[in-house]
Chains A and B, each alone.
Chain A
């Protein structure tokens, strides 16, 4: 464990006072950075009064670092404090870097993953089929290209980016708003385990700590700081994903967004980012261009990107275009000279080649890959 007693104690004090911090914030989800910057005495003074202040002081006095370390070992969690050499350099520029970073497994793996270029992928918890497809494909494409995918293991875009990265044999990093050994939301229990197996799950809160409303924006600052680029896939306005984008922007990192439907509320936030000058991401290639320069990848120049489907027969091309335009089989039949069986045949072929995927029950949409 590369952690000093002072930092360990302070991070446990934050976990101890977490419910009081939640109660103190006038606005939910307000960034509690001012609080996290404070030292122990000031923090107690700010958030606790009377009896609870005494309890907090007693907690500090009676804090047993050995016992805390033992609990870490039991939970198979490593702790790295901000004074340790392994502490990620990317977090130091924050005005309130975490006192301790708790991560699953060995700290060497975290160092290894962060030595690669890393991209943070965030977005709504309720993506459209289009957003789902893009998020998953970004995760997969980046992992295949050798970029570490960072996200928050939340429902929707976060989980899809993680799943994509796992599908691309990548080793994703998940940053949680609760203890690193807590699967939140519970539904992602399996995903949490899969990420832990090949990648790293980390948090500034000690193991076993539950999430608080303020701890989500607080973890967003860590995600923004760790990634060289922050990509927003479908975010409402306002939303937690936009907070991540603001952190990234404040730290001088690239902010990028995937264009969404202009009529969709679920994409209003990400579209606003684009309007304000965020980089446009249409796919993995665009992210790699942003990170390494046009046409370059982590290991030098990339191969020429062929336009997907450019070598298709005209009949398939026509059907692919129609699927992109959101047309149903009946509309394609009415517009082209093809019969319904011919259209189905073309759809089957396009699906087998991975150019289209299911968009709804019985409907197709353009695949983000291929």
Chain B
């Protein structure tokens, strides 16, 4: 007898449909799995046998052949267990095969017959919906997560026995608990009203948040770079439903999702010893890197100059394109990586302001070179942190995150209206054509940009960067037109590198 069932295997943050076929035939009792299974998939035979027997089903003592189609794709991991078991039950007529029509399953089995959760349930549900399945059966723990995807009925089963009851129509699972949207209170992110002084960094943070710009903070160790960076997610607009689903999908693939829809933008702060593939993703079965985990959120790189050169180089393409392309062997995957970069470093190796700098010229040069190459094109603004912020303490209680967020949200709304239908959300994402269309300069501002500073003429790229930043500054002020002062301020945040001493 022959039976088949569909399941889904993770590929990056997407899933690929795999059809599991089982053939039961009189003969010597052997159980063969073909279709490029890896060791974990072959072990499934033992789990399936034990789970079936321990659940009170019969394990047919006949010649069993399972095929995982398409046969040319390598199959990895334990998520084929459930499909194998279900196909076997159907093939041995312990389960009516006709009831499995238009139904996909995914899950890992324990020897006792319980269903264990798998990673990437959201991606599986998205894949099943796209492939036209009407029902998806997953382990109970994955049900809430998978149910976030509309347009497909998600059923959670705690065990193999229950699953058979479910398919046979003898049992109905409780509806997956979709937790209500939590009130977006602020308690999970620290508040900006705890940061005294730092007026330059606060303003830069606000502009960065308002336009989605990448920010570099300059300041000595202990000045509060990390403190400020951690407060950025709290002034960003909450993720839209689509963004939240993207965040959940990525986190569910990486196994760090809590099984519910992400309410907050992620904040990732990898240590500077991270490897290039840890940062952008990779491995023989490619896994998402930190920049993908920070998708639709914030990637914070403290002590930027300490990161390895290959790691920084690897960041360039994702920061530019918003996606990571990982190619391993025959497979090429695309991970989402639309993230805001907040970086922090010192002005020079000793960390003092340049007027007190005691660094050797050669050291300083090496330090600047290290940063200039990979980053010069990716940083939209640079700000300074005060080593001694008590200078400004006298000016009263600092503004709270809520007040700043209100302005950021207003600026973001202007941008959403501007980019309706353009497929982007924020000023920082404008390409040259959109910049040209949406940033019209008055004559005096035009003259300022063309005044031709012989020391550091603006490249076409940094010219556009200044325009995008000026657009955001005007948006924060609620003005439809960009003014000269906006351009001046944008120029003031431009990242300049000191005169290279050689080459």
Which residues of A approach B to under 8 Å, CB–CB? Answer: 124-129, 132-133, 136, 155-156, 159-160, 167, 187-188, 190, 266, 325-326, 328-331, 333-334, 339-341, 343-349, 351-354, 357-365, 367, 369
Are A351 and B199 closer than 8 Å at their CB atoms?
no
Report chain A residues within 8 Å CB of B391. Answer: 330-331, 334
Q: Mind listing 16 A-B residue pairs with CB under 8 Å? A: A329-B199, A329-B383, A330-B391, A340-B199, A344-B493, A345-B485, A345-B492, A349-B448, A349-B492, A351-B456, A359-B354, A360-B353, A361-B382, A363-B384, A365-B354, A369-B454
Q: Does B179 contact A (CB under 8 A)?
A: no
How distant is the Cα of A127 from the Cα of B357 in the complex, in angstroms? 12
Query: Do the beta carbons of A126 and B353 come within 8 Å of each other?
Result: no
Closest to B305 in A: A361
Contact between A361 and B498, CB atoms less than 8 A apart: yes
Q: Does B451 contact A (CB under 8 A)?
A: yes
Give me the 6 closest cross-chain CB pairs, A-B, nearest first: A326-B355, A348-B491, A126-B361, A344-B492, A330-B386, A348-B492
Whether B453 contacts A354 by the Cβ 8 Å rule is yes
Knowing A345-B489, A361-B218, A361-B382 are in contact, say whether A124-B361 is a contact too (CB < 8 A).
yes
Bound-complex Cα distance A346 to B503 (A): 31
Residues of A close to B384: CB separation below 8 A = 328-330, 362-363
Contact of B488 among A126, A167, A348 (CB under 8 A): A348
Q: Cβ of B502 and Cβ of A155 under 8 Å apart?
A: yes
Q: Which residues of A contact B491 (CB under 8 A)?
A: 347-349, 351-352
B308 at the interface (CB under 8 A from A): no
Could you tell me the distance in whole angstroms from the C-beta of B473 to the nearest C-beta in chain A?
A: 8
Chain A residues within an 8 Å CB radius of B412? none
> Do most interface residues of chain B lie in helix, strand or loop, or is the interface mixed?
mixed
- The residues of A that contact B485 with a CB separation of less than 8 Å are 345
A358 touches B501 (CB 8 A): no
Q: Which residue of A lies closest to B496 (CB)?
A: A358
Q: In the bound complex, do residue A357 and residue B347 qualify as a contact, i.e. CB atoms below 8 Å apart? A: no
A159 touches B383 (CB 8 A): no
**In the bound complex, how far is the Cα of B386 from the Cα of A90, in angstroms?**
54
User: In the complex, what distance in Å separates the CA atom of A129 from the CA atom of B359?
Assistant: 11
Picked from A124, A266, A359, A362, the residue with its CB within 8 Å of the CB of B495 is A362
Indicate with 1 or 0, residue by residue over B377-418, a CB within 8 angstroms of chain A CB atoms.
000001111100101100000000000000000000000000
Question: Which A residue's beta carbon lies closest to that of B371?
Answer: A361
Q: Does B150 contact A (CB under 8 A)?
A: no
CA distance A348 to B466 in the complex (A): 10
CB of A360 within 8 A of CB of B357, answer yes
Q: A127 contacts which of B356, B382, B489, B501 (Cβ < 8 Å)?
A: B501
How far apart are the CA atoms of A340 and B492 in the complex, in Å?
10
| Residues in B neighbouring A190, C-beta threshold 8 A | 503
Known contacts A351-B494, A354-B455, A361-B498; can you find 19 more A-B pairs with CB under 8 A? A126-B361, A132-B499, A133-B499, A187-B502, A187-B503, A326-B353, A326-B354, A329-B384, A330-B197, A349-B488, A349-B491, A349-B492, A352-B449, A353-B453, A357-B498, A361-B382, A362-B384, A363-B354, A364-B496
CB distance A354 to B487 under 8 Å?
A: no
Residue among A326, A343, A361 with the highest chain B CB neighbour number at 10 A = A361
The distance in angstroms between the C-alpha atoms of A205 and B24, with both chains bound, is: 91
Q: What chain A residues lie within 8 Å of B501 (beta carbons)? A: 126-127, 132, 155-156, 159-160
